[in-house]
Each structure stands twice: as structure tokens, then as C-alpha cells.
Amino acid sequence: MRKDLYKRLNKDEAIVLLVDHQAGLMSLVRDIQPDQFKNNVLALADVASYFKLPTILTTSFEDGPNGPLMPELQEIFPDAPFIARPGQINAWDNEDFVAAVRATGRKQIIIAGVVTEVCVSFPTLSALGEGYEVFVVTDASGTFNDITRNAALQRMQAAGAQLVSWFAVAGELHRDWRNDVAGLGGLFAKHIPDYRNLMQSYDRASAAK
């Protein structure tokens, strides 16, 4: 692999867009188990908070069947820009949303949302067209089934988006375990049950030194 093909996430250049994680739309997700999906969304939110990444929340047509935003997201990001779109399906068609993205001055976008082939794909393709680097968090995005998910991921990847998981995002931003073992390890343990065993072993080993 040529070095220039590795577009690495940088915590000083990245922002996070959480698109339409709304009660009604969340109920449509069938390609990931509901409890696992919610955990993944909150894990990505915790990653964004941990690395202090500018984060933008947005919803579409809350007064309709899409419903309200996950309350946990507003609790994690009480001061984040929250764009309640009155009807635009593609978040990039909303001037306030695009203005919030541009106001960060950053060019790397980490995005997740519901549903993958619409609420994630459309703004991803729009942002790529304007020169942004876009990283799609596949396990914090959901849709009806594997067929629609795979088609959406292929479409975005063909346009230049990178497909990642929330765990990969965290690792790439952190770069080096020595930066903060307990902090990142604690975040992983919170969202990955098996990772708690690693941290417990590490804590015991550290205490014995």
C-alpha cells in the first residue's frame, strides 16, 4: 500500500456528524440487533466526547413519524449544535447544517446515522463532492436489511468514503496506548463486555507493581 492511500483520522482535523438517530427511525433498523446498535451509537458518541471532537446533531421532521432524537445524545452533547431540519431528507440540503459543518474549519467528517442508504449516504456523497474526507461508521449506522446496507456502503465507498467501525475510529485517533491507557480502556470496557476482562487484568497487574 502506498503511504498516500492511508488517509488517517486526526483528532485535530475531524468532526462527528450524528444524523437522524431518532426514535421512529431507530425502530426501522434490522441489520444490527437493537441493543447492540444503540450501544454502538453511544460508543461513537463517547469517542467523540473523549477526544473532544466538534459534534453536530441533526434530526429530520421530528414532528412526523421519525420522532425525537435519542435523549442520551443530547445528554452527552448538551452544548453541541443541534439542527432540527424541518423536512430536508439530505442533511446537506439544510443551510444551517452545512454552515455548522463549515464553521468548524475541519475537513475530516466522521458520520453515522439512520437509515444508512439515505440519511448517511446522501450527506456523505454531498460532502465528498465538496472536498471533505468522509469516514462512515458502519456499526453506528443502521437500516432495513443487509441488502440495502451493502448497496449503500458500496455506493459511498465507490465515491471515496472510508468505511470504519467506532472501535477503529477510537484506535486511529488515539494513536498510542501510552497516551491514556485507563481512559480509552475504560471507554472500551463500557461498550464491549469482553473488554472489561482485559481492563480488570490490567488493573490488577498495575496494582501489583
- Give the residue from 47, 79, 84 showing the smallest Cα distance to 64: 84
List, in sequence order, every residue forming a beta bridge with 142; answer none if it has no partner. 114
- Give 129-177 pLDDT, tens digit per residue: 999 999 999 999 999 999 999 999 999 999 999 999 999 999 999 999 9
C-alpha cell at position 133:
474526507
Q: Which of 70, 83, 119, 136 is catalytic?
A: 119
Query: What is the pTM assigned to this prediction?
Result: 0.94
- Calculate the alpha carbon distances from 166 to 25, 140, 162, 163, 183 in Å: 20, 7, 13, 10, 16
- Residues of the chain falling short of pLDDT 70: 1-3, 198, 201-209
What's the pLDDT score for residue 206? 66
- Calculate the alpha carbon distances from 161 to 174, 202, 208 in Å: 21, 36, 45
Query: Is residue 119 among the annotated active site residues?
Result: yes
